[in-house]
A and B are shown apart, each in its own frame.
Chain A
Amino acid sequence: MSTHGEQARPLLRVTDLGVAYGRVRAVQAVSLEVGQGEFVAVIGSNGAGKSSTMKAISGVHAPMAGRIEFDGSDVTGHPSHRLVRAGLAMVPEGRQVFAEQSVEDNLRLGAFVFASTPARVDEAVDRSFTLFPRLAERRTQAAGSLSGGEQQMLAIARGLASNPKLLLIDELSLGLAPRVLEMLFPVLESLNRQGLAILLVEQLATQALAVSHRAYVMETGNISLSGRSTELANNPAVREAYLGRS
């Protein structure tokens, strides 16, 4: 891997990250990188610390140790709203749409960083509707009344509305029907091809490894393996633990 010079500087660099909740140490010392325009996945069991890592990176839960650099500057411990302005958006675990507000309002809130330039907000909303025509059909409906799949589309569109450089997605597949996933993974791939960097935490390791360039495997608060996704998919240890035996 080339790591020299200004151009190879990763978009996100996490060094020796540690996260704790009360007495539970969730993340020990995690280091990972996401390059410009790269699609990176994090897989691993429950309790391995994946979501905690994501929460620390996105500023939801302050880390107790380590350093997070985004786009060349130190953002360790910065709150989420500042990170969004810097170009790092998050699609949270369990979607977390604003259930009582309309689909369109959810998207407008996603574009809140452009609040001073209404034209850019409209543009962001239109872009979302082009990406997910299904949302356009439900524009005025309360977000809470959408099906799980539609809510996930909305959560992704809302994250994209701030025009981020890096999109963090925590558990894309949670509670979604196979047919919805069949549609969502290609959308992520196409967004990535258009230049968006993506960091995806996912339990469905097969799909995550199929769409990503590189991946990290987390175990009990540490990264146990990392490498190109195609290689990890063929790694016997990974196959045994995360891909099922079929």
Chain B
Amino acid sequence: MKQPPILSSGLLASVSVAGALCLVPFAVANTFQLRVVMLFLIYALVALGLNLLVGLVSLVSLGQAGLYALGAYTVAILATKAGAGFLTAMLGAIAVTAIAGVALAYPTVRVRGVYLAVVTIAFGLIVQNVAIDWRALTGGTLGISNIPRINLGAGPLSTRDLYWLIAAVTFAGFLIHHNLMHSRIGRAMRAVAQSETAARALGIDPIRQRVLAFVLSSVFAGVAGGLYAYLNRYVNPDTFSFSDSIRFLLMVILGGAGTSFGPLLGAGILTWIPNLLQAFGKWQLFAYGALLALVIFFLPKGIAGSVHDLWMKLRHRRSQTIREAGSWPRPSSEIDALLRVEAKIRGPVLQTRELSIRFGGLAAVSGVTLDIERASVHAIIGPNGAGKTTMLNALSGFYPPTEGSVTLLQDEVGGRASDRIARSGLTRTFQNTELFSSMTVEENVLIGFHARSTTGFLATLFRAPSFYRESRQQRQRAALLLDYVGLSAYRDETAGNLAFGHQRRLEIARALAMSPEILLLDEPAAGLTHSEIDELIALIRDLKRLGLTVVLVEHHVDMIMAVSDHVTVLDYGEVIASGSPSSVRDDPKVIEAYFGASLGPAGVSA
């Protein structure tokens, strides 16, 4: 097996960035130029942090200058009024901005997109106004001057030494940014941005991911602000205006959101371009605006993103092929070991008692009592609109019960969040397949492993041996699962490019990566041909053999009859029949409500 590309690309990136940083002091002509480079590095740090937000969890912040200001003022105040040293002052800046990050992440529980942008704009304005008006602390519009030089013990740092310090911090920021992006945490963040529902079903708590991204992005801005205070030795409110927030966002967008190098490129361009454009005289601002508009128009994914896309396109131009999915399921002893579920409790693994779900006055499910036995296949059928999907949503925690209880593995879970239920061993697929469609087939399966991963946050950021061990193991398991569902040939394809039926297989493989005890399948046979349905039946039987419990919402009558141990029929949210497949099939009430008069169970397919 080839080396994971994470390692080689990461190494290449870090060596090239470090090399460039080392050359700078020898390339610049004077201290002024060196200061401009330092300013660029500080901007780059803010942009890297903002990229974690924009590029990973797809949240837009227009208040980054506010966080940058918090860092700068915290350092300025601690250094001038409390006589704090460099490390103490920086730790203060980190603490303050981390708290602000949590506070800023809180609104994302309710608002996204434009609304969140407005919240962050407000935050930035508040910070700037506090800096202007709280004169006793901030010095008002005059700001704080005489910030001491950094002294690490051997006397005040020279400009050149300060450069090395700032370069080292920004380089560390770049590595953390890169490592986070290419890890399970970065993957989980991108997953949350693409489909919160699917992420939850895989045991990922979206709020946690967003808070983490916000806190990291705030701390990056705070550290950058602190360094700025030491570089400039003077801070005042003018440096932290709304237009600075816009500029930070532009750096990310222009460079390429979601890429490792984008923020560096964007920060570089926006630091130097204004100087280069001075030749345009009074047309300078116009030229600046026009240039930005043109770049974004022709390179919609930013410079790094568009270059990457172009490169992929050229590389794959000749490798366009028809790929064939293999037959499935393909059982193997490794798959058995991965998926087998041992009996942990006696009695039903999933139960509901008098479960009701009401939306306003409408009762979608009313008074449903179910007992689902371990290693059985339990089908829920009924006319469109009978409440089957609502039932699945209630079992998997997407809807809290209005009344009644849901018991999973003898644990009352009614009202528990869906991602917690998923981590307790119950996961699901969706009627309209919820894949992370812009990620690859393999990445989709890898996200399924996220909730069960053991490598911690720091081990991931600093690439401890356990990180590589677990990554390798998960990639091997993902390969097993893809082989199991016959999609090995599509491993590196973008999930959204797969045919509908293959997307279903992938969704099942991804759910299985959670090693669930109970799997809920919402209309898995919809859009499949007969031979494919036969394969699906074989898969369900195989899962049952391995001890998994399968709950199935389905319309395909032949399939229900072939695989189910127990069938529950819903109509208008109530159970109208429940029992063995054959007893349900012959029930006059079921024929009336569901099968239709002329279409016997056989009529659907024959």
A binds B: yes
Binary interface encoding of chain B residues 410-434 relative to chain A, with 1 for a CB under 8 A from any of its CBs, else 0: 0000000000000000000001100
Cβ-based interface call for A51 (8 A) = yes
The answer on a CB contact under 8 Å between B500 and A22 is no
Cβ-based interface call for A79 (8 A) = no
A148-206: which residues lie under 8 A (CB-CB) from chain B?
A: 148-150, 171, 173-182, 203-206
Closest A residue to B503 by beta carbon equals: A46
Separation of A60 and B493 alpha carbons in the complex (Å): 21
The answer on a CB contact under 8 Å between B530 and A179 is no
Binary interface encoding of chain A residues 212-227 relative to chain B, with 1 for a CB under 8 A from any of its CBs, else 0: 0000000011000000
Chain A residue contacts of B139, Cβ below 8 A: none
The answer on a CB contact under 8 Å between A205 and B320 is no
The answer on a CB contact under 8 Å between B606 and A47 is no
Chain A residue contacts of B531, Cβ below 8 A: 45, 241-242
Besides A49-B499, A150-B385, A177-B594, 15 new A-B residue pairs in contact (Cβ under 8 A), listed by A number: A22-B494, A24-B320, A24-B321, A26-B322, A26-B499, A93-B527, A147-B383, A150-B384, A171-B527, A175-B526, A203-B529, A205-B529, A206-B605, A241-B530, A241-B531
Chain A residue contacts of B498, Cβ below 8 A: 24, 47
Cβ-based interface call for B146 (8 A) = no
Closest A residue to B490 by beta carbon equals: A24
Q: A46-B502, A204-B605, A243-B530 are in contact. Are A179 and B322 (CB under 8 A)?
A: no
Cβ-based interface call for B557 (8 A) = yes
Chain B residue contacts of A244, Cβ below 8 A: 530, 558, 605-606
Cβ-based interface call for B348 (8 A) = no
Cβ-based interface call for B103 (8 A) = no
The answer on a CB contact under 8 Å between A47 and B325 is yes
The answer on a CB contact under 8 Å between B528 and A203 is yes
Chain B residue contacts of A23, Cβ below 8 A: 316, 319-321, 493, 497
Measuring CB to CB, which residues of chain B are less than 8 angstroms from any residue of chain A?
316, 319-325, 382-385, 431-432, 490, 493-494, 497-502, 523, 526-532, 555, 557-558, 594-596, 598-599, 602-606
Interface of B is mostly: loop
Separation of A178 and B531 alpha carbons in the complex (Å): 19
The answer on a CB contact under 8 Å between A246 and B323 is no
Chain B residue contacts of A173, Cβ below 8 A: 526
Closest A residue to B499 by beta carbon equals: A47
* Partner among A22, A46, A246 whose Cβ is within 8 Å of the Cβ of B527: A46
Cβ-based interface call for A25 (8 A) = yes
Nearest-neighbour CB distance to chain A for B244, whole angstroms, equals 38
Chain B residue contacts of A48, Cβ below 8 A: 499
Nearest-neighbour CB distance to chain A for B22, whole angstroms, equals 39
Separation of A139 and B530 alpha carbons in the complex (Å): 37
Nearest-neighbour CB distance to chain A for B448, whole angstroms, equals 21
Separation of A77 and B497 alpha carbons in the complex (Å): 19
Cβ-based interface call for A10 (8 A) = no
Query: Which residue, B383, B527, B595, has most C-beta atoms of chain A within 10 A?
Result: B527
Separation of A175 and B316 alpha carbons in the complex (Å): 36
The answer on a CB contact under 8 Å between B595 and A242 is no
Chain B residue contacts of A25, Cβ below 8 A: 320-322
Separation of A221 and B603 alpha carbons in the complex (Å): 30
Q: What are 20 sample pairs from A and B whose C-beta atoms fall under 8 A apart?
A: A22-B316, A22-B493, A23-B319, A23-B493, A24-B322, A24-B323, A24-B490, A45-B501, A46-B527, A47-B498, A93-B527, A146-B385, A171-B500, A174-B526, A174-B527, A178-B596, A179-B383, A179-B596, A180-B383, A246-B602
Separation of A242 and B501 alpha carbons in the complex (Å): 15
The answer on a CB contact under 8 Å between B606 and A175 is no
The answer on a CB contact under 8 Å between A220 and B324 is yes
Closest A residue to B592 by beta carbon equals: A179
A85-117: which residues lie under 8 A (CB-CB) from chain B?
A: 93-94
The answer on a CB contact under 8 Å between A179 and B595 is yes
Separation of A179 and B384 alpha carbons in the complex (Å): 9
Separation of A205 and B530 alpha carbons in the complex (Å): 8
Cβ-based interface call for A142 (8 A) = no
Chain B residue contacts of A178, Cβ below 8 A: 555, 557, 594-596, 599, 603-604
Query: Which residue, A43, A177, A203, has most C-beta atoms of chain B within 10 A?
Result: A177
Binary interface encoding of chain A residues 134-150 relative to chain B, with 1 for a CB under 8 A from any of its CBs, else 0: 00000000000011111
The answer on a CB contact under 8 Å between A46 and B605 is no
Cβ-based interface call for A83 (8 A) = no
Cβ-based interface call for A44 (8 A) = yes
Cβ-based interface call for A128 (8 A) = no
Nearest-neighbour CB distance to chain B for A30, whole angstroms, equals 12
Nearest-neighbour CB distance to chain B for A225, whole angstroms, equals 14
Chain B residue contacts of A43, Cβ below 8 A: 529
Query: Which residue, B499, B594, B598, B603, has most C-beta atoms of chain A within 10 A?
Result: B499
The answer on a CB contact under 8 Å between A148 and B599 is no
Nearest-neighbour CB distance to chain A for B301, whole angstroms, equals 15
The answer on a CB contact under 8 Å between A246 and B316 is no
